[in-house]
Amino acid sequence: MFWAVQGMAAELATGALMMAKIKATGHNVSMLVVQNEATFTKKAVGRITFTCEQGRDVDQTLDSAIATEEAGTVWLTATGTDESGDQVSVFNFKWSVKLKH
Protein backbone atom coordinates (compact mmCIF):
# COMPACT_ATOMS: atom_id res chain seq x y z
CA MET A 1 0.00 0.00 0.00
CA PHE A 2 1.38 3.37 -1.02
CA TRP A 3 2.69 5.46 1.90
CA ALA A 4 0.44 8.44 1.09
CA VAL A 5 -2.69 6.31 1.55
CA GLN A 6 -1.44 5.23 4.96
CA GLY A 7 -0.65 8.84 5.84
CA MET A 8 -4.15 10.03 4.99
CA ALA A 9 -5.75 7.22 6.99
CA ALA A 10 -3.45 7.87 9.94
CA GLU A 11 -4.18 11.61 9.90
CA LEU A 12 -7.89 10.84 9.79
CA ALA A 13 -7.57 8.62 12.87
CA THR A 14 -6.00 11.45 14.87
CA GLY A 15 -8.10 14.20 13.29
CA ALA A 16 -11.42 12.44 13.93
CA LEU A 17 -10.48 12.09 17.60
CA MET A 18 -9.51 15.75 17.73
CA MET A 19 -12.76 16.86 16.03
CA ALA A 20 -14.93 14.79 18.37
CA LYS A 21 -13.17 16.19 21.42
CA ILE A 22 -13.47 19.77 20.12
CA LYS A 23 -17.20 19.29 19.50
CA ALA A 24 -17.64 17.96 23.05
CA THR A 25 -16.17 21.18 24.51
CA GLY A 26 -18.93 23.29 22.95
CA HIS A 27 -16.34 25.88 21.95
CA ASN A 28 -15.22 27.05 18.53
CA VAL A 29 -11.65 25.76 18.29
CA SER A 30 -9.43 25.65 15.19
CA MET A 31 -7.08 22.74 14.56
CA LEU A 32 -4.13 22.32 12.23
CA VAL A 33 -1.38 19.75 11.67
CA VAL A 34 1.94 21.58 12.07
CA GLN A 35 4.38 18.65 11.92
CA ASN A 36 4.39 14.93 11.22
CA GLU A 37 6.69 11.93 11.04
CA ALA A 38 6.25 8.28 10.15
CA THR A 39 7.90 4.90 10.58
CA PHE A 40 7.12 1.91 8.39
CA THR A 41 7.72 -1.46 10.03
CA LYS A 42 6.20 -3.99 7.64
CA LYS A 43 4.81 -4.03 4.11
CA ALA A 44 1.16 -2.96 4.27
CA VAL A 45 -1.01 -5.50 2.45
CA GLY A 46 -4.79 -5.89 2.67
CA ARG A 47 -6.98 -3.99 5.12
CA ILE A 48 -4.98 -1.71 7.40
CA THR A 49 -6.59 -0.20 10.49
CA PHE A 50 -5.29 2.96 12.15
CA THR A 51 -6.04 3.74 15.78
CA CYS A 52 -5.29 6.64 18.11
CA GLU A 53 -6.05 6.23 21.79
CA GLN A 54 -4.89 9.53 23.28
CA GLY A 55 -8.20 11.10 24.22
CA ARG A 56 -6.91 12.27 27.58
CA ASP A 57 -4.01 14.10 25.96
CA VAL A 58 -6.43 15.87 23.61
CA ASP A 59 -8.73 16.77 26.53
CA GLN A 60 -5.83 18.28 28.49
CA THR A 61 -4.60 20.29 25.51
CA LEU A 62 -8.07 21.60 24.71
CA ASP A 63 -8.82 22.46 28.36
CA SER A 64 -5.61 24.47 28.56
CA ALA A 65 -6.13 26.23 25.21
CA ILE A 66 -9.68 27.21 26.17
CA ALA A 67 -8.77 28.35 29.70
CA THR A 68 -5.75 30.41 28.66
CA GLU A 69 -6.98 31.45 25.20
CA GLU A 70 -3.47 30.56 23.99
CA ALA A 71 -2.64 28.08 21.24
CA GLY A 72 -1.71 24.61 22.39
CA THR A 73 -0.07 21.64 20.72
CA VAL A 74 -0.26 17.91 21.20
CA TRP A 75 1.50 14.98 19.50
CA LEU A 76 -0.92 12.22 18.53
CA THR A 77 0.12 8.77 17.37
CA ALA A 78 -1.80 6.62 14.90
CA THR A 79 -0.69 3.00 14.72
CA GLY A 80 -1.48 0.99 11.61
CA THR A 81 -2.08 -2.73 11.92
CA ASP A 82 -2.88 -5.34 9.31
CA GLU A 83 -5.58 -8.02 9.45
CA SER A 84 -3.22 -10.30 11.42
CA GLY A 85 -2.77 -7.61 14.07
CA ASP A 86 0.83 -6.92 13.04
CA GLN A 87 2.00 -3.31 13.16
CA VAL A 88 2.81 -1.95 9.70
CA SER A 89 3.39 1.74 10.45
CA VAL A 90 3.33 4.44 13.09
CA PHE A 91 2.48 8.05 12.26
CA ASN A 92 2.93 10.96 14.65
CA PHE A 93 1.09 14.23 14.06
CA LYS A 94 1.66 17.44 15.99
CA TRP A 95 -1.70 19.20 16.17
CA SER A 96 -2.09 22.87 17.05
CA VAL A 97 -5.37 24.07 18.56
CA LYS A 98 -6.59 27.58 19.31
CA LEU A 99 -9.82 29.05 20.62
CA LYS A 100 -11.57 31.13 17.96
CA HIS A 101 -13.35 34.34 18.89
What are the distances in angstroms from CA 97 to CA 1, 11, 58? 31, 15, 10
What does CATH list as the number for 3-99? 3.10.129.10
pLDDT given for residue 86 in this prediction: 97
Strands in 1-101 per DSSP E: 29-40, 49-51, 72-81, 87-99
Please state, for a pLDDT cut of 70, what percent of the chain lies above it. Answer: 99
- Output DSSP code: residue 26: T
pLDDT in tens, 27-73: 999 999 999 999 999 999 999 999 999 999 999 999 999 999 999 99
Please report, for the chain, the start and end positions of each structural domain, with discontinuous segments joined by +. 3-99
Q: What pLDDT is recorded for position 89?
A: 97
